[in-house]
Amino acid sequence: MALTKLSRSVEGYVVFVTGAASGMGEATAKLFADEGAKVAAVDINRDGLNRVVEEIEAAGCPVRGWSLDLSNGEAIQTVIDEAAAHFNGLDMLVNNAGISIFSSIDGADYTRAWDKSLDVLLTAHTRTIRAALPYLRKSKNPRIVNIASTEGLGATKFASAYTAAKHGVIGLTRALAVELGEEGITVNCVCPGPIRTAMTEEIPEEQKLTYARRRVALKRYADPEEVAHGTLNFCLPSASFMTGTALPVDGGLTIKNA
């Protein structure tokens, strides 16, 4: 007989993961599948998405993929409606998809970097949340997790569009935690540090090592799966009183002075 009341299982619940074709989105989709959730996976990269969906299916887990550009608000509504119809509901939304475009403030490409970054990294979250809300309101375990970044807590040179968007993700998370709290919907965000994904693969290995040794308490880049576990923790029924938080999963990057 259990000594406590709250469940640490997402089994049977439906999760909607954006950016599931690669990196942390892929790791999140696979982790939730392993934990018994039904996975609705979306990405703009159709081939990558098909690969991930096939791998999850091969493990015998319920999954369906939708090719989707998160810049397209109408398509988001259609896909979320289809996912909820397919799985008979939607309980957990993970806003993970992202891009990183570097430009100095006076760079020729700055306006494009700003518009695209804000659109994909921040505005898209509001689109998916608005589309998913009617389903989350019917759920017994309604959870929203936004993937921000340690760039939401600090800043790196030449990344002001990305940094502003990620600060915005934390602000949006806090605002919606307050707004949706009385409905029992929790809204949290994860702030990953340096992670080995497609987004960071062009950084030479030597540069990664130097950076990690200097800045990260654990002295290394993380595997995407290590971040997915942070996301899963926010989605557990037992995480019922956690809302409005920004959780660094950064190997100690943000607390390290020297």
Q: Which is nearer to ligand NAI, 189 or 236 (CB)?
A: 189
Q: Which is nearer to ligand NAI, 147 or 247 (CB)?
A: 147
Has 162 been annotated as catalytic? Answer: yes
C-beta of 222: minimal distance to ligand NAI in Å? 8
Angle at CA of residue 254, ends 118 and 235, nearest 5°: 65
| Closest residue by beta carbon to ligand NAI | 23
Amino acid identity, residue 103? S
Decide: 149 and 191 in contact? Cβ < 8 Å: yes
Q: Which is nearer to ligand NAI, 119 or 139 (CB)?
A: 119
C-beta of 103: minimal distance to ligand NAI in Å? 16
C-beta of 18: minimal distance to ligand NAI in Å? 6
* Token code pair at residue 179: 């707004």
Rounded CA separation 117/164 (Å): 9
- Residues at the interface with ligand NAI (CB under 6 A): 19, 21-25, 43-45, 48, 68-71, 96-99, 120, 147, 149, 192, 194-195, 197-200, 224
* Token code pair at residue 204: 């030479």
C-beta of 242: minimal distance to ligand NAI in Å? 20
C-beta of 193: minimal distance to ligand NAI in Å? 6
Q: Which of 135, 162, 211, 221 is catalytic?
A: 162
Q: Which is nearer to ligand NAI, 19 or 142 (CB)?
A: 19
What own/partner pairs with CB < 8 Å and gap ≥ 24 does 97-101 have? Answer: 97/18, 97/19, 97/25, 97/42, 97/43, 97/44, 97/70, 97/124, 98/19, 98/147, 98/199, 99/199, 100/159, 100/162, 100/199, 101/161, 101/162
Q: Which is nearer to ligand NAI, 105 or 198 (CB)?
A: 198
Decide: 6 and 233 in contact? Cβ < 8 Å: no
Please compute, for residue 241, the number of CA atoms within 13 A of its CA located in the half-sphere on the CB side: 1
Residues serving a catalytic function are 162
